[in-house]
Structure 1
Amino acid sequence: MIAELGLGLAVIGLLLFLLILRIPIAFALAGAGLFALATARPWPAVEFLLSTFAYGASANFAYVVLPLFLFMGHMAFAAGLSESAFAAGQKWFGRFPGGLAAATVFGCAAFATICGSSVATASTMSRVAMPEMRKQGYMPRLAAGCVAAGGTLGVLIPPSGVLVIYSIMTDVSLVKLFVAAFVPGIMTAIIYIIGIYIWVKMKPELAPQLKGAAVPTMREKMQALGQTWELLLLFAAVMGTIYLGVATPTEAAALGAFFAMLSVLRRPGRKENIGVGLRETGTATCSIFALVIGAGLFSLGLT
């Protein structure tokens, strides 16, 4: 018992040491897990385990949904859907205290409904919203903070890549997870927006009022909201078909990826972004699978 406890502490200590050295998380997990396996088991048994573990951990058809959702997010960004979401948020929230920050959170929430990745959501909205907030004199901590906080909505609001992985590893219905996560995700976005409003009310220097912009009319607001029709169509094509039971998550993800690619193709001069999206999707998918395999080895080493 004492020996097992000592080995467990040593493995966790090794993991922390590797992370301090800035070893990628996937390799740090795999290295610590391999150390535990090599210490506790005969090496021939470890060799046999390693020869089949990576394939066994990743050869699950349900994982197909991950690259499809990621590709859909990249295509949506290439088509400019994130820009239309931010523009709509700017029309609706721009005149309120901290309006651009609130518009950023709104854009993150809208983009999260077709993305599934917090990193992709944050990086996308940072390119769209950060320049405008800097131009209007927003404090960097507020501008960066609302992008970082809004990015977390990518793993809360379906389709979420984290929920897909959790569903596979725990054998829980992905549809039920998507249904359960939607309302908390939207509530989180609303709380973020209210928090921004209160914070800027208390400290107006964080976010100056918009300069040189007329107050938008209700018609202009509705027109800006109408410009997000492609984003709404994608959400309906993916989450609507899943919620109604018309399609499985994999089928819905394929449908969404196809529609997102059509959004890119209908815009002149953006066809080359499809190749870029495929490369970025491949890179992100490889990173996710490396994490799955590394976490599996670490878990196996501790047990």
Structure 2
Amino acid sequence: MSDVLVGLCGIAAMFLLMAFRTPVAFSMLISGFFGLWILEGFKAAGGVLLTESYAAVSSYSLIVVPMFVLLGNVSSAAGFSRGLYDAAFAWVGRFRGGLASASVLGCALFSAVSGSSVACAVTIGKVALPEMKRLGYGQGLATGAIAAGGTLGFLIPPSTGFVIYAVLTEESIGRLFMAGILPGLLMMALFIVTVWLVSVFDPAAGPRGPAVTWRERFSLMLGAAPLVAVIVLSIGGIYVGVFTPVEASGVGAALVILLALARRALTASAFRAALFDTVKTSAMLYMVVIGANVLNPFLAVTQIPTALGEGLAGLGLGPYGSLLVILLAYVVLGMFLDGLSMLVVTIPIVFPVILANGFDPIWFGVVAVIVVEMGMITPPVGLNVFVVKGVAPDVPMSVIFRGVMPFLMAMIVTLGLIIAFPQIALLIPDTMFG
């Protein structure tokens, strides 16, 4: 049996394990370990398991994961997310579809704290959906805006998707964070345009919200200002070179905890719950990295990435034709896998092909994250759709999926613009890092 055939059998076994609900991390670890055992022997497989596991958990750069997760959890537990949403609503709620637009803005702001699409969808959904229901918003627009807005958590820094991509490809976390800013703002703007268009064509779906006085607007802005200042300090500190991403994550988490204590917005039990959630989420992400680090050497030995690159080159599609094939594969996988699983499973296979075709690895990181985000709102998996369903159990799943379709088109437009104009993603990191 050839090495490539063994590799294909290993990948098939990995997907089979996932189909039987084995966690993604252990599916990769089992396939990688036993694949290496078959090809290189037990001693080599055991050596990889030991060294790669230690290298993964001792990686200094991965400290950003628990720190930014803690930052988001404490912000949510302290109720700061409500302040972000209220401030956004005060400025755009009076317009047609304003509450849905405020939800998108709230998701974008909370994304800069949490780095998690699920956390964004849950946190803003709990605040915004009851208000939109009270004002008679269409169920599709209300739930679709939350599900789509939540995906911004995977793109706007600090993004766990970028951290995992950086670890898998050995690219700079700081450059990836900076690369996500303009695409994230572009997608947010297109989501708001989508809300407006839906409301124009169906006025009943997005009625205007109540008027808010200028005094109330500035009062709500002042209430949200401390958390916004933490966001600006953390992300801005990376941009101007004051902090590394790791230092920024630690400073941000510490400042949010101090802010919550100063406002007496955080009880001891809520803080313990935030710590527990942080440990649980971080442990899951670390296990994913360990599994990917065991799978990668197996794929390298099988030469599957090389065979894939040669196969695509043999088709004569050219760089962008090969990119289109890869993106279509992502779309198909997004119907069955969650976003994080897609990244860790596919990047080791497709990344060498991307480099061979001359694409910028930072730019492709943004493209890959956007395509992964699309999978978060497409059937049948659509993780964010299921999350919103949990927040709004009275809304049929079919209605939520119909509601996200206009936003999916906005994501496709964003992706097309970034492929056509790579500088949208590369301007800030190229300016910052030269």
Query: Normalising by structure 1, what TM-score?
Result: 0.91
| Alignment CA distance shift 1:48-1:75 (3 Å) | same
AA partner of residue 255 (structure 2):
F
Is this contact kept in 1: 2:37–2:44, CA < 8 A? Answer: no
| Alignment CA distance shift 1:39-1:144 (3 Å) | farther
- 2:400 equivalent in structure 1: none
- 1:302 equivalent in structure 2: 299
Is this contact kept in 2: 1:54–1:293, CA < 8 A? Answer: yes
- 1:231 equivalent in structure 2: 227
Report the Cα offset of residue 105 of structure 1. Answer: 0.6
Report the Cα offset of residue 72 of structure 1. Answer: 0.8
1:3-42 → structure 2 map (5 Å cutoff): 3-42=2-41
1:178-228 CA-partner distances (Å, limit 9, x unpaired):
222211111111111111110122123433444xx3x22333323322221
Q: Aligned equivalents of 2:101 and 2:199: distance in 1? A: 11
Q: Aligned equivalents of 2:166 and 2:87: distance in 1? A: 33
Matching residue within 274, 283, 287 for 2:284: 287
Q: Aligned equivalents of 2:229 and 2:161: distance in 1? A: 23
AA partner of residue 106 (structure 2):
G
Paired residues, number: 299
- 2:170 equivalent in structure 1: 171
Q: Aligned equivalents of 2:121 and 2:129: distance in 1? A: 11
Is this contact kept in 1: 2:66–2:282, CA < 8 A? Answer: yes
- 1:71 equivalent in structure 2: 70
Q: Aligned equivalents of 2:14 and 2:127: distance in 1? A: 36
AA partner of residue 247 (structure 1):
F
Report the Cα offset of residue 33 of structure 1. Answer: 1.9
Report the Cα offset of residue 75 of structure 1. Answer: 1.2
- 1:121 equivalent in structure 2: 120
- 1:259 equivalent in structure 2: 255
1:60-95 CA-partner distances (Å, limit 9, x unpaired):
111112111111111111222210111112222222
| Alignment CA distance shift 1:136-1:19 (3 Å) | farther
1:97-145 CA-partner distances (Å, limit 9, x unpaired):
2221111110011111122222222221122222222333333333222
AA partner of residue 244 (structure 1):
V
Range with bigger deviation, 64-73 or 110-119: 110-119
| Alignment CA distance shift 1:49-1:5 (3 Å) | closer
Is this contact kept in 1: 2:114–2:120, CA < 8 A? Answer: yes
Answering whether residue 274 of structure 2 is matched by residue 277 of structure 1, we say yes
| Alignment CA distance shift 1:172-1:109 (3 Å) | same
Q: Aligned equivalents of 1:269 and 1:216: distance in 2? A: 25
Report the Cα offset of residue 149 of structure 1. Answer: 1.3
- 2:107 equivalent in structure 1: 108
Structure 1, unaligned stretches of length 5 or more?
Answer: none
| Alignment CA distance shift 1:3-1:190 (3 Å) | same
Q: Aligned equivalents of 1:220 and 1:59: distance in 2? A: 48
Q: Aligned equivalents of 2:38 and 2:60: distance in 1? A: 33
Structure 2, unaligned stretches of length 5 or more?
Answer: 301-434
Q: Aligned equivalents of 1:155 and 1:129: distance in 2? A: 20
| Alignment CA distance shift 1:24-1:255 (3 Å) | same
Q: Aligned equivalents of 1:193 and 1:67: distance in 2? A: 31
Is this contact kept in 2: 1:79–1:263, CA < 8 A? Answer: no
Matching residue within 219, 234, 240 for 2:236: 240
1:148-173 CA-partner distances (Å, limit 9, x unpaired):
21111112111222223333443333
- 1:185 equivalent in structure 2: 184
Is this contact kept in 2: 1:264–1:271, CA < 8 A? Answer: no
Q: Aligned equivalents of 1:240 and 1:269: distance in 2? A: 26
Q: Aligned equivalents of 1:86 and 1:153: distance in 2? A: 15
Q: Aligned equivalents of 1:171 and 1:48: distance in 2? A: 21
CA RMSD of aligned residues (A): 2.0
Q: Aligned equivalents of 1:56 and 1:37: distance in 2? A: 18
Is this contact kept in 2: 1:155–1:162, CA < 8 A? Answer: yes
Q: Aligned equivalents of 1:114 and 1:53: distance in 2? A: 30
Extract structure 1 runs of 4+ deviating beyond 4 A.
Answer: none
Q: Aligned equivalents of 1:68 and 1:225: distance in 2? A: 26
- 1:48 equivalent in structure 2: 47
Q: Aligned equivalents of 2:151 and 2:277: distance in 1? A: 20
Q: Report percent identity of matched pairs.
A: 35
For residue 247 of structure 1, give the secondary structure of its aligned residue in structure 2: coil
For residue 227 of structure 1, give the secondary structure of its aligned residue in structure 2: helix
AA partner of residue 12 (structure 1):
I
Q: Aligned equivalents of 1:133 and 1:18: distance in 2? A: 41
Q: Aligned equivalents of 1:41 and 1:5: distance in 2? A: 14
1:209-220 → structure 2 map (5 Å cutoff): 209-210=208-209, 213=210, 215-220=211-216
AA partner of residue 148 (structure 2):
A
Answering whether residue 61 of structure 2 is matched by residue 62 of structure 1, we say yes
Is this contact kept in 1: 2:168–2:292, CA < 8 A? Answer: no
Is this contact kept in 2: 1:81–1:230, CA < 8 A? Answer: no
Is this contact kept in 2: 1:78–1:264, CA < 8 A? Answer: no
Compare relative contact order (CA 8 Å, sep 6+) and give the higher one, 1 or 2: 1
Report the Cα offset of residue 269 of structure 1. Answer: 6.0
